[in-house]
Chain A
Amino acid sequence: MLQTGLDLTSGGLKSSVTTDVSGGSTGTFPPVGGLTVANGDLTIADSNGDAKNLEQPCTLTIVVAGGGINAAGGTASATIAGMGFAVGDTITIAKASIGNPSADAVITITAADLQSASVPEYRYIPVEDILYVVPLTTTTIRLWMKDGANAGTGSAYLVTFSNAADSVDALAAFASDSVAQAIQAENSIPTARFGGGTYPVKPITVVMD
């Protein structure tokens, strides 16, 4: 199951800013890292205005220009996609986190803002010829295929996550468990599960390379 959170294109959320800001400081917010729900920068609500908990947290970066976020030089970008958004959801950005303009900014999610517009919910991976899982980072693993005899330059699936797993070991071990489970399940198609500590993570892309 793939992650279908926010589009990670730089500036991808700019056109969805439905309440722009005026006054306050200009610049990139935050200067380092990202705006998060956990830090009190963001509040997520559904289309009815009710508070909404995401399955996986997102992270945003906002650039406020002289005329606001929607003005020339301003941008709104997701840097970690999150999971659990729907069209009509709103992301309210606390004014204190973006240079203290006169009011909070609001982004209203449209279909174009979601990866589900271009990413299928599921990606099917044949597991029969997977040799083993290669741990790379807390956000990437590789599934080596058996035709990799050419000194490690054979085919492999590169699986990339937007949200980081708790550790490299945990991500690789969960992936290995999922592959083993799938190989053992001849008459069913199990859904791979990754991570399990802070929250389960879902891959954002699976590509053969």
Chain B
Amino acid sequence: MFGYWDALYFVLVFIVGLILAYLLELWARRSGMGTREIGDGTKIFLSGEDPEKVIPGFEHFEGHYTGRNIMWGLTYALKRFFTVLRREHTGLLTDYVSYLVITTAFVLGVLLIWG
């Protein structure tokens, strides 16, 4: 269904794409002004992690590039959904058993009425 999906063709297309990207970069390097080598704009800035700014108390984190703020956009946009989910995972043993009893009651109800 829906077309031709053989795995070896995917590997071939991927390699051809890599070669095309390399040729494009050679062309761009030849015809442009080049990239920065020195100065303030060469710092890596992964979603808010500035390696030069030191937060007093977290000195052992400076210079690391962790993925802590990578998905900031996703997390901020769905903040209410994530807060509700996190609040539901309480960690109490009695909550686990109450979820099991609710599931049993739901399945029993649906099965007795419609099946």
Do A and B make up one complex? no
B residues with a Cβ closer than 8 A to A are none
